[in-house]
Amino acid sequence: MGIFVGPARARRFFDFLSKVYDVINPFIYTADMRDTLLRDVEGGRVLDVGVGTGYTTKHMREAVGIDLSKEMLTRARESYKGSLVLGDASRPPFKPESFGTVISAGSLYYFNDPINAVRGFKKLLRDGGVVLTITPSWNVLRIFVHIFKEKDLRKIFKEAGLRLEKIQNMRGIAFYCKAMKE
Ligand SMILES: C[S@@+](CC[C@H](N)C(=O)[O-])C[C@H]1O[C@@H](n2cnc3c(N)ncnc32)[C@H](O)[C@@H]1O
């Protein structure tokens, strides 16, 4: 298990990293990668799991961002148009079937049990809703977080009961997945 996996460790890590996060993040998670994901957003409310400082969804009034880190959310509050919730997305405080899209851009690999996490995302989606995920593929990060291979991601979505519509390599450093609730 990576040394930053799990809610308590992820929270401490991002409370600390929040000071420099917005300077570093766009070099790794580029605007092109973000736009690829945003093109697949479905109608209805959008849940951004691990919203961080709001990089992916800050422009969306219909978005709800949840994050463990108080410090990351403090920064998100400066420009976020939707609503923000401090909490653990493995125990999400939302009604079932209340979202059209669940985004996890850079957060799934911090969950203790990623299959269970995606099962939880599925419960929050209406039929026809989608989970959109960006997760790193750099093996060197394996001591810190979960690093999924393509076959791991296929298994995660299958076992969570979602149909994987798209899986693509992004810049050789990440996978992007779109999976649908049927
Ligand atoms: C790499 S950052 C990604 C931030 C943002 N999505 C972005 O793309 O810039 C990961 C974020 O996920 C949050 N996170 C990790 N595990 C979480 C959980 N179980 N519930 C809520 N947030 C979580 C962290 O606190 C951190 O802010």
* pLDDT value of position 136: 93
**Edge-to-edge order in the sheet of strand 174-180:** 83-86, 63-67, 46-49, 99-105, 125-136, 174-180, 163-170
Domain total of the chain: 1
Does the pLDDT at position 15 exceed 80? yes
- pLDDT, average across residues 49-66: 98
State which of 36, 55, 102, 110 you would mutate to test the pocket of ligand 1, scoring each by most atoms of that ligand within 8 A of its C-beta.
110
Is 114 among the domain residues? yes
Mind listing the pLDDT tens digit for each residue in 70-128? 999 999 999 999 999 999 999 999 999 999 999 999 999 999 999 999 999 999 999 99
Is 2 among the domain residues? no
Is 1 among the domain residues? no
What's the CATH code of the domain at 42?
3.40.50.150
Pocket of ligand 1 (CB under 6 A): 7, 10-11, 14, 25, 29, 50-52, 55-56, 66-69, 72, 88-90, 105-107, 110-111
Is 125 among the domain residues? yes
Task: Quote the CA–CA distance of 174 and 137 in Å, as a whole number.
Answer: 5
- Average pLDDT value over all residues in the chain: 96
Is 80 among the domain residues? yes
Considering only CA atoms, which residue is closest to atom 9 of ligand 1? Answer: 55
Residue 27: domain span: 7-180
